[in-house]
Structure 1
């Protein structure tokens, strides 16, 4: 299998059979370091019109992922490396749930699936997160709905302040539940 780089953040696994191993993970790790958004992915699906989208995604802990939802889609993660808190919100920005994930063999679950469209974001708890994400296609640019309660990702100062406050809010919830 060969990878074709489609952009600084996107690689395509060419051919009818995709196999991802350590060499491909190393390619993603290098791409993350060079990416302005500090994330990169390998698409195992051939194109955006495919009915099933599978991606191996690497995300640096400094990457801001604006809370968003995907109407009409499901989303599932299987952790390959690292730890993450998936923060699920109501439409007003209140935290509804935090799903703590880690690699197989650890104390945290390593898999989650969200079957309804909820606003969500990630708090990456390790230096780097690598996940296998599965969602239904087709991909339509602009179909994701971004939360009005969170800043856009093009304002680094506001995004960093929001993320820091979110980390504080999640820690308070986790402390209260302990």
Structure 2
């Protein structure tokens, strides 16, 4: 059993701060080929998560610590919905349906979310990242 506690969140947050991407995953799945990917994602302000979609997979985010903004987008990049996840404010998570453009933004240092989505891992293809400059 792996306990998700303050110590684990702190360890992953330190790794996120030291990462050039300003984010770090801690995977609970043993392989990228597993049918369900479960992980915590420590994100720091300034990390860049491109607007992307998963054509065949729903994705769920649950806030464990801090604040993150989740936005969903139309094909032209305009925002459909914008929500700040913060346990203190009673907004704990979102489920993003498959095929919907979305991104996250860390609003506070040491923010950590739990993510779950269907495996297998597939690198984003050209049509999986939204390039609003081309629109």
Query: d(CA) in 1 for partners of 2:107 and 2:132?
Result: 23
SS in 1 for 2:14: helix
Q: Which runs of structure 2 are paired with 1:1-178 in the superposition (5 Å)?
A: 17-103=1-87, 106-143=88-125, 145-149=128-132
- SS of the equivalent of 1:24 reads helix
1:83-118 Cα deviation digits (max 9, x unpaired): 122111101111111122112xx2241111112321
RMSD: 1.8
- State the 1:56 CA deviation: 0.7
TM-score, L = length of structure 1: 0.69
Normalised by the size of structure 2, how large is the TM-score? 0.89
Shift of 1:18: 2.9
State how far apart, in whole Å, the 2-side matches of 1:27 and 1:128 are: 10
Distance 2:110 2:2 in 1: 23
**Do the aligned residues in 2 keep the contact of 1:67 with 1:150 (CA within 8 Å)?**
no
* 2:59–2:96 Cα contact (<8 Å) kept: yes
Partners of 1:89 and 1:147 lie apart in 2 by 9
| Structure number with higher relative contact order (C-alpha < 8 Å, ≥ 6 residues apart) | 2
- 3-state SS in 2 of match to 1:25: helix
Q: Which has more radius of gyration? A: 1
CA shift digits 1:55-77 (9 cap, x unpaired): 11100011111111111001001
Q: How many residue pairs were aligned?
A: 133
2-side partners of 1:115 and 1:47: how far apart? 24
Deviations 1:18-61 (A, max 9, x none): 32222221211211121000111100001011111001110001
Q: Which stretches of structure 1, 4 residues or more, deviate above 6 A after TM superposition? A: none
